[in-house]
Amino acid sequence: MASTLKHGDKVNPELGVTENITAAANGVFTALIAQDACFNKVVTVTSSAATNYVTLPKATAGLIGRVIYLTVTTNGYELVTPDASGDKINQTDSDGTNQVDVAANTTVRCTQISATEWLVETIAATTIAVTAPDND
């Protein structure tokens, strides 16, 4: 059951929403993380190749501040925004030409910071880093 803040905005109480996703082939945007109306989500990624795509949901004004954690074990993947969306990751348009390379055994924290942008930080055993999207 949702409640409202003092100024009337709806608060969604869903915490700990989880999802399993399998990365899609390079250049294919079908491994799209679901657009859930919640502010915390954990996604377990399965990937067969480091060049496979995982696609963030479209950034929307109503969900600024949401956090999505992605965790992967054996193979990495490339993190992108929806095809032709114009959404950015770490200030770079990342809907295919550029993407964040995620290594195996890494957790990624994605925070939606505007209606069109995500801040993405990679968390590995000994490092937390903001990784610039690249064009490969």
pTM score > 0.75 for this model? yes
As a whole number of angstroms, the distance between CA 33 and CA 23 comes to 10
Fold classified for 16-130: Jelly Rolls (2.60.120)
Q: In angstroms, rounded to a whole number, what is the distance separating the alpha carbons of residues 55 and 78?
A: 8
Residue type (1 letter), 8? G
Token pair of 11 as six digits: 């608060």
Q: Are 115 and 59 in contact (CB under 8 A)?
A: yes
Only one residue has tokens 């690249």, namely 134
Q: pLDDT tens track of the chain, all 136 residues?
A: 455 555 566 555 555 688 999 999 988 888 999 998 888 999 999 999 999 999 999 999 999 999 999 999 889 999 999 998 999 999 999 987 899 999 999 999 999 999 999 999 999 888 887 877 776 6
